[in-house]
Structures are given as structure tokens and as C-alpha cells.
Amino acid sequence: MTEAVRVGGICKRFGAVTALAEVSLRIEAGEFFALLGPSGCGKSTLLRIMAGLEHPDQGSVFIDGIDVGRTPANRRPVNMVFQSYALFPHMSVRSNVAYGLRVTGTGRAEAHERAEAALGLVRLTGYGERMPHQLSGGESQRVALARALVKRPRVLLLDEPLSALDARLRDEMRLELVTLQKTVGITFIIVTHDQEEALSMADRVAVMETGRIRQVAPPAELYEAPADRFVATFIGQVNLFPATIGADGTAQAHPFPGVTARARGIGAGRQVWIAVRPEKITMAPRGGVPAGRLSGVVEEVVYRGDLSVYLVRCMAGPDGLVRVSRANAARTADRLPGPGTEVVLDWAEDCAVVLAS
Amino acid sequence: MRIPPGPLEFTRRTWIRLVLLATFAFLYAPIATLVAYSFNDSRRNIVWRGFTTRYYERAMANDGLVEAFGNSLLIALAATVVSTVLGAMTAYALWRFRFRLKPLCEGVVVLPIVIPEICMGVAMLVFFARIGWPGDLPWPISLSRITIAHVTFCFPFVAVVARARLSRFNDELAEAARDLGAGEWAVLRDVILPHMRPGLVAGALLAFTLSLDDFVITFFTSGPDTVTFPVKIYSMVRFSVTPEVNAASTVLIAVTVTVTVVAMWLQNRTRPGAAP
Ligand SMILES: Nc1ncnc2c1ncn2[C@@H]1O[C@H](COP(=O)(O)OP(=O)(O)O)[C@@H](O)[C@H]1O
Ligand SMILES: [Mg+2]
């Protein structure tokens, strides 16, 4: 694969705030890439540096293998879909979409033809004469997409493109964006704080925290093999047990003798965490089955429709609650263990992941 | 049955209606009287003697008055154009760039608005005398003194209105344009200026009306051959308030109101969305 974007050692400060600290990243051509992280972690800043709208204090940006450090935003082969969509309010939809072509010298006829084609691509044929204020949120967004795509950029940058849409529309647009990306074959880099969005759309995800990249991996790897505690807790739910590496290289959780996991490449005596996802845990009433790894009492059941979350108390204190989730495969709830039921918890050995930090 | 007025239905309460009525009467009665008496068939402006347009004809026939009116219009137009361009550039510079002593500059720009007009007038008089600006230039160059003086107090209004408009600009629009390939000038032309336009129209309108009816500063900067409409009316009033003066004033009111209405209509028509 060839690389589309490479950033190396990017640092950016705003006064006393460090927005980015030594960020390096390589994004392949044709990839759907997501930058995921909590609000304020520097995702937008990184995207804007790629676009040339912000200048890094340090570090370099390569697009298609060319150093664009000295290339101004208007001459970089990337285009951006802004969070506010930023449609020009005094121009019709067609003029908005054609703007990027017209301003760089494309003739009116060709620009309008290509604008119509781009509008067709985002399923807005016939909207050309409308003004931006006559569009719904979803339509505005698609106009913004068309306006960026019409330039046939090497890379399309999208800053929280779905955050202004309502939940239903957001689900639809996720699918549509993925399909669109496959159709046009352009590298997409999307910024989002919504882990579900990142996992469901992207080929690879970079998880960021306070200006640093914590892990870059495909969605499944991110979820099943998180690199550290931040990634494990930021993406989905997780039970964390404080543990120590024993002499034989296995991690042993402190108050829970049954909770162990095989650790690789971590020295004996180190303090680590054992992470287990709630849906990997099986739950059975105490008595019948073998002892399992943990035993406790169901304290609370949270019904979520497709699944229920059980908070099982295995020990007194705030760390003694274990979260278990189970699909509601049967229609009636009475066969599920209710609060007060004594249960044993178990999971397959390889479901427990050791986190060194 | 009569429904009692709701808590926010102020215009349905009797005493508020009376206050409103009194306010309007106070504001507009003098103007209404002025207009009405311009049609009064009497030498003296005291009793109503019947309708006539005689004084409009007489005002038209008064060469001095017509010339003054032409001067005023020309000065107002020129001052408006120059003030609007200057004001737009000032507002843009103050909004776009960061530089040393910027707060001071912002203060200095609005200074002519707060300085008493009489002081401005005297200052202008002294200034033109000091630099020896010739007073006997051929028409219409002879109006340049008054025009320059008008620009000095008109352009701050344009700058202030345009600056206020710019503070509501969404920076992402400029960034989007840049991202799509627009250079600095193209961004200004295609995104920022269209955003400023309503502010510029409002500012230009202010400048035009301010210039058209300015008396104090004009009085100090006009020469014997460059009489403007307000100055001319003043000199006529010094002898007596004739219906001719009323007629001339009514024309001035009509011009300002018409210009305002046309400008507002234009602005509504070009506002995004008002077009089909
Ligand atoms: N123009 C700016 N001036 C000052 N601080 C900024 C600016 N842009 C971003 N920041 C700060 O940099 C940090 C990262 O911002 P941003 O990249 O927008 O975060 P994210 O998009 O991940 O929410 C934040 O703390 C933010 O306050
Ligand atoms: Mg952001």
C-alpha cells in the first residue's frame, strides 16, 4: 500500500495549552481512518494541521509523499468538511459546490457540470437552485461533502461530520459515508469523539488523549486488545482488576484468586491491570455448575432492550462490583437472575487482557 | 366578550396606548406641521388658507436654492462613496489584523463620532486655512473642502457598523474558502465582502443622510460660492420663515425617506434567502 498522509513529530501549543505533543501517524491511500478521542484532546487541531489551516510548532506533514510544510491551505490536495458545514450563505447550492472549481479557474460550464455530478453522488440531484438556509441539517451536510469531493482531493478530512445530526440520521449517514468512500476511493480521515462511530466506519482508528496518540489499530483489535487502560475504558465497557505479575509470568489479581491472565513480556513483580469485557463473562446461579472464577450477588440489573447489564457484587467496596452483560435472547425477563441472586462468573482464559499501564 | 390583555400584550393596555400616541405626536407633529404648511396658501405660516403648490414652484424657481440642493446631493454622494470605501477598509483592517496599539486605533476611529460638531467645524476651518486649501476652485472641485470635511465624520459611522457586522462572521467560512483553493483576495471578495454588505449598505445610508443635512461643519467649511441646502435654508430663515422654506425642507425629507426605503428594499431583496 502507498501512503496518503504521514505526519511526524507534530507539536502544537496554544499559549499554555499543549494541543499536540509529538504526534506521528501514517495513513494509507484509500483508507477510511478515524481520529478518536475525548473533547479537547487535539483531534481537530491535527486535522487542521493536515489541511494547512493551522501551523505546527514542530514536525512535518507529508501528503502523497510530498512535504507540504510550506504549502498554503489553498494549494494542498486535501479538502475538508467542517463541523459547522460552513456553506456560503449567499450562494446557491450549485454555486457552493462549484466554488472550489471556479476559484481555481475552471470554466463555468464545466464547473457546473461537475457540481451537478457531485450533487448526484450525495443524492441531492435537483437541489442546485436552493439556498443553504432552505436545507435540512442532513442536506447541508451532504452539500458540504459534495463541495469538498468535487475537487477530487487526495484526502478528504471530516471534522465531526455527524455530530450535528439527530440519532436516526446519524446512523443512516454512517452507512452512506462508508459507501461513498468505497465509491470514490478517496482516503477519508474523520474526527470523532463517538467511539461507536469510529468503530463502525473506520478501517483503522487512532485513539488520542491530551495531545498524544495512545493506539492505532483496526476496530476489533482496539476493542479486543487495547494497549492501555485509557483505550480499554474509552472504548466500550471494561472490568479492571489490579494485579501483580508473578514469578511464572502470570498476572494475579489481588483480592480475587480466580482472576489470572497470561502476560507477555512484562517483568515479574510489576503492577498491572487485568481487563475483562462485560459481554465475555458468563454468569450462572451458584450451586449447580463448577465454582468459576468469581462468585457474588447480583446487586442491580439495568435493562437495555437488546441486552441487560448486571452489576455483581463480588467484594465490599467500590472496586468489588463486576459488570456483566448478557443478550436478552429470551423474550421474558423472569428466567434471568434478578437482584439478590447468588451467581458464579467465569470466562475463557484468553478473554482476560493484561494492561501494563 | 372582551378577553383581558395577556402579560406581554402591552399594546392592548389603554395607558400604554396613550403613552405611545403621545410619543408619536411629540416626535412627528412638528414634521407633519412643516409638511402641511408647505401647501398653505398664505404668506404667513399661521392660519390655514387653502391648498396650493405655489411655494414648490417658487422654490424651484429660486436658482440659489436649486444650486444649493444640487451641491448638497453631489457632496453627499461623493462623501458616501469615499466614506463607505474607507470605512469598509478600516473595519476589515481592525478585524483581520493584530498590531501594536490596536485598541488605541479603534478608539481614534470612533473619535469623530463623539467630538462635538462645533469643535470639528472649527478644527476643519483652521486646518483648511493653515494648509492654504484654495477656496476659489471651479465648480464642482470647489465642493472638495466640504466633501473632505463630511468624510471625516461620516466614515467612522460606516467603520463602526461594518466592524460590528464582521464580529459576527463565522471564521470557518473563510477557512472553507481557503481550503477550496481561494487565495487571500478571493476569500475577501467571495466570502467576507458579501457578509459585510448589509453593514456597508446601512453605513452608506447613514453617511448619506448625515452628509445631506449637516449644518455645523458645513457652515465652517463652505465658502461664499459653495452653499449647501441646509446652509441656504438657514440663510433664508434668518429673514422670515416662508412657506418656500417649508417646501424646500419637505423635499429634503422626501429625499432622505426615499433613499432609506430604497436601500432597505435593496437589502431585503439581496439578503440570502429572500431570492427565490
Ligand atoms: N485557536 C485556538 N486557540 C487557543 N486554544 C486552542 C485553539 N484551538 C484549539 N485550542 C485548544 O487546543 C486543545 C485541543 O483542541 P481541539 O483540537 O479543538 O480538540 P478536539 O477537536 O479534540 O476537541 C483544546 O484544549 C483547545 O482549547
Ligand atoms: Mg474538535
**Would you tell me how many other CB atoms lie within 10 Å of the CB of residue B45?**
17
Question: Which residue is associated with the grid cell 437552485?
Answer: A129
Q: How far is it, in rounded angstroms, from Cα B167 to Cα B82?
A: 23
B246 within some domain: yes
Q: Which residue, among A46, A341, A14, A71, has the nearest Cα to A208 in the 3D structure?
A: A46
Closest Cβ opposite residue B178 in set A74, A133, A151: A74
pLDDT values of chain A reduced to their tens digit, one per residue, 357 residues: 689 999 999 999 999 999 999 999 999 999 999 999 999 999 999 999 999 999 999 999 999 999 999 999 999 999 999 999 999 999 999 999 999 999 999 999 999 999 999 999 999 999 999 999 999 989 999 999 999 999 999 999 999 999 888 888 888 889 999 999 999 999 999 999 999 999 999 999 999 999 999 999 999 999 999 999 999 999 999 999 998 888 888 888 888 888 888 887 777 788 899 999 999 998 888 876 677 788 888 999 988 888 889 999 988 877 788 999 988 887 775 567 788 888 888 898 888 899 988
- The pLDDT tens digits for B145-181 are 899 999 999 999 999 999 999 999 999 999 999 999 9
Length of chain A, in residues: 357
Hey, is the C-beta of A80 within 8 angstroms of any chain B C-beta? yes
B7 within some domain: no
- Residues of B in Cβ contact (< 8 Å) with A148: 179-180
Hey, is the C-beta of A82 within 8 angstroms of any chain B C-beta? yes
Residues A325 and A309 sit within 8 Å (Cβ to Cβ): yes
Q: Which residue, among A119, A128, A4, has the nearest Cα to A64 in the 3D structure?
A: A4
B54 within some domain: no
Q: List the Cα angle B238/B242/B245 in 5-degree steps.
A: 80
Length of chain B, in residues: 276
Count interface pairs A-B at CB distance under 8 A: 70
Fold exhibited by the domain A237-355:
OB fold (Dihydrolipoamide Acetyltransferase, E2P) (2.40.50)
- Residues of B in Cβ contact (< 8 Å) with A146: none
CB contact under 8 A, A103 and B181: yes
Written as nine digits, the cell of A243 is 494485579
CB contact under 8 A, A133 and B272: yes
Q: Which residues line ligand 1 (CB under 6 A)?
A: A 14, 17, 19, 37, 39-45
Angle between helix B243-270 and helix B229-237 axes, rounded to 10 deg? 160
In the prediction, which pLDDT does B276 show?
33
| Domain boundary assignment for chain A | 3-230, 237-355
In the prediction, which pLDDT does A334 show?
58
In the prediction, which pLDDT does B222 show?
84
- Which of A11, A13, A17, when mutated, tests ligand 1's pocket best, judged by the most ligand atoms within 8 Å of its CB? A17
Q: Which long-range contacts (CB under 8 A, 24 or more apart) does A195-199 make?
A: A195/A36, A195/A234, A195/A235, A195/A236, A197/A34, A197/A162, A197/A170, A198/A34, A198/A36, A199/A223, A199/A235
Residue B239, domain CATH: 1.10.3720.10
Strands A294-303 and A307-313: antiparallel
B27 within some domain: no
ipTM metric: 0.85
Taking 70 as the pLDDT cut, the residues of chain B under it are 1, 45, 269-276
Q: Helix H segments across chain A? A: 43-51, 93-102, 108-121, 137-149, 167-184, 195-201, 219-224, 229-234
From the CA of A36, the nearest ligand is 1
- Residues of A in Cβ contact (< 8 Å) with B179: 51-53, 73-74, 78-80, 148
- Residues of A in Cβ contact (< 8 Å) with B194: 88, 90
Q: How far is it, in rounded angstroms, from Cα A90 to Cα A92?
A: 7
Provide the residue range defining the domain that includes B117. Answer: 62-270
Q: Using omega within 30 degrees of 0 as the cis cutoff, is the peptide bond preceding B272 cis?
A: no
B1 Cα: distance to centroid of ligand 2 (angstroms): 58
Please count the structural domains in chain B. Answer: 1
* Chain CA centroid to CA A30, Å: 18
To the nearest whole percent, how much of chain B has pLDDT over 90? 39
| Domain A3-230 sits in CATH 3.40.50.1100 | no
pTM: 0.84
B16 within some domain: no
In the prediction, which pLDDT does B270 show?
57
In angstroms, the separation between the Cα of residue B99 and the nearest Cα of chain A is 18
From the CA of A49, the nearest ligand is 1
Which string of DSSP letters, residue by residue, matches B23-71? HHHHHHHHHHHHHHHTTB-SSSSSS---B--HHHHHHHH-HHHHHHHHH
Kindly report the protein residue whose alpha carbon is nearest to atom 6 of ligand 1. Answer: A14
CB contact under 8 A, A90 and B195: yes
A67 Cα: distance to centroid of ligand 1 (angstroms): 24
CB contact under 8 A, A53 and B178: yes
The H or E element containing residue A312 is strand A307-313
Q: Which residues pair with A353 in a beta bridge?
A: A275
Closest Cβ opposite residue A131 in set B176, B179, B272: B272
Hey, is the C-beta of A217 within 8 angstroms of any chain B C-beta? no
Specify the amino acid at residue B99: F
From the CA of A208, the nearest ligand is 1
